[in-house]
A = this chain, B = another copy of it.
């Protein structure tokens, strides 16, 4: 690897570079060599072995506070799990379920008694768990799940039930075979002395589901989903509960508790706010999923670009030689902008992890900060996972028939990441969450409403809010202040011009979405219809926002880079990213008079120009991702 590539790796690795290097070494061991089998028995056995190897090295400790038995480094925790994606996404998901979701629920929703009882055992994999939230009937709309946890004061127990078929817990990773215990989300029902039983909304309880032999406990019925679109190493399954009793202490009671006599209490009075506060503490799952999808895309792009630099097809009639396929403009256009976006997303993801680590290591977090974090995590989860689907697919097609052979890794990466766009929050729903956050301009009480119930809040304050820069704010301001003075005249390769275009787009979209929502609300019958009338506009807001965040992070990363050749490459790559974003939405930019038609044509020319500029650096660009050679074991690659 060249020194320039190493500097690119340094830029991409960010704050937890050491963790990344540790995992790279770990994954280079033969036990973690990429392997492909759709056979679930083989795949599950292999992944469980790998998970045990990792557990033996206590890799999960950083994910938990020192008081709980960990080492308290959440940034390291998500980075470690995310990096596992380079070897096997099934392994990443299993680790994520055990330590991120199951462990995270106990850590963040539980109190000392839970931490003492469960954290060390789950770190060491003595307590294999699962995260039982989604049900057959409700996935995106968690507030409507049907599983009940009814308090029985006579025995001081909760009784867990799946009252309908649609209440069955569904798609739960670990539920089919390995999990002994579940963090179960259920509607909490209790009655204080002399009261009628009342529902207090969704809460989480620790519920044992299997004995040491792996047999379902009484009242618990698990089953196996069998074949899925990918992730053969993950034993997804269903869980149904019928009169399953757990001690009262099993309620994870950080935010709400039930007294022995059945009296319910909570530090958060508003039930919706309580629900979203609980969910908010689980943000790490989304952060990890986004990062892991990004890592998988890097592996695929590395393989495809290296193949594109080896493979030749059709003769150049002038030279008589066969043309290296990466020399075709169409091949550059299909792969290099995706490489650029991978950089942008990684830089943005790094900023997100830093922010998350900062917030999660403080005891005083204000609601606005927390909500911004959740919005960013949702947006980058959607952006990273959609990008991974697209990039890995393009990589596969760019390698033709060879790309379809399992041995060359691409189709496994594609199949395994496919579900990432719809699990841990469906991307369309998450995009709405991002837009809602921007549109409602931080009005606290709005959060608790349905996706479609927030219209009346829209636009009340929009326009007064100053756009918050998410990275390198002073530097970006300088770029803006020193650029030529409008979009039309500044060079398309001028960073200030690019930033201004993405900022203007976002601001305009937010403002007009709010205006349209308000108008539609007056004109149409129901809030649902009003929301629905502008739903495409709302999704556009989210995209515009996240792309601006990505560009800002890219700019900040360039500023930090200290190696001139690496910096120059990053500058060109950032142009490619920005022009790719603008080109994809250039109809909008013209329609809203942000650029002229002539200017729009120049965007496409600029995109081709930057592809040509970067073509000689193609190998260095993917080397920069720092994917260990052991992860690139694709027989179709014959050069080093």
Contacts and interface: CB of A to CB of B under 8 A. Distances in A.
Contacts of A475: none
Contacts of A608: 536
B139 A313 contact: yes
Nearest to A529: B318
A333 interface: yes
A587 B599 CA distance: 11
A450 to B, nearest CB: 6
A318 B411 contact: no
Given A315-B144, A587-B590, A229 B396 contact: yes
Contact of A229 (B139, B411, B532): B411
Interface string A391-402: 001001100110
Contacts of A403: 422
Nearest to A329: B535
Nearest to A170: B401
Interface string A325-364: 0011110010000000000000000000000000000000
A466 to B, nearest CB: 28
B38 A528 contact: no
B228 A411 contact: yes
A36, A38, A39, A230 interface centre (most CB from chain B within 10 Å): A38
A333 B411 CA distance: 28
A406 to B, nearest CB: 4
Interface in A426-445: 426-428
A632 B411 CA distance: 26
A453 B226 contact: no
A352 B401 CA distance: 26
A134 B402 CA distance: 11
Interface stretch (A20-28, A60-68, A186-194, A413-421): A413-421
Contacts of A229: 396, 404-406, 410-411, 414-415
Given A406-B226, A422-B403, A423-B401, A138 B313 contact: yes
Interface in A125-177: 134, 138-141, 144, 170-171
A319 interface: yes
A314 B406 contact: no
Which of A319, A400, A406, A598 lies at the interface centre, i.e. has the most chain B CB atoms within 10 A of its CB?
Answer: A400
A323 interface: yes
Nearest to A426: B400
A322 B526 CA distance: 14
Contacts of A383: none
Nearest to A592: B597
B313 A228 contact: no
Contact of A593 (B397, B404, B426, B597): B597
B400 A139 contact: yes
Given A313-B139, A405-B225, A414-B229, A422 B397 contact: yes
Copies of this chain in the oligomer:
2
Contacts of A16: none
Given A404-B418, A450-B317, A535-B330, A227 B37 contact: yes
Nearest to A318: B526
A527 interface: yes
Contact of A528 (B141, B316, B539, B590): B316
A528 B318 contact: yes
A52 interface: no
A533 interface: yes
A601 interface: yes
A518 interface: no
A51 interface: no
A330 B539 contact: yes
Nearest to A321: B528
Nearest to A535: B329
A326 B418 CA distance: 22
A540 B453 CA distance: 43
A170 to B, nearest CB: 7
A600 interface: yes
A623 to B, nearest CB: 25
A66 to B, nearest CB: 36
A333 B138 CA distance: 22
A323 B138 CA distance: 12
A498 to B, nearest CB: 18
Nearest to A428: B330
A381 interface: no
Nearest to A401: B171
A314 B526 contact: no
Interface in A569-601: 586-587, 590-593, 597-598, 600-601
A327 B450 CA distance: 16
18 contacts: A38-B227, A140-B314, A141-B315, A170-B401, A171-B404, A226-B407, A229-B404, A229-B406, A230-B404, A317-B528, A323-B452, A328-B532, A330-B536, A397-B421, A403-B422, A536-B604, A587-B600, A593-B597
Given A330-B428, A397-B427, A593-B597, 20 more contacts: A138-B313, A139-B313, A141-B314, A144-B315, A171-B405, A225-B405, A226-B406, A226-B407, A227-B407, A314-B450, A314-B451, A314-B452, A319-B526, A330-B536, A333-B536, A401-B422, A411-B415, A536-B604, A590-B600, A591-B598
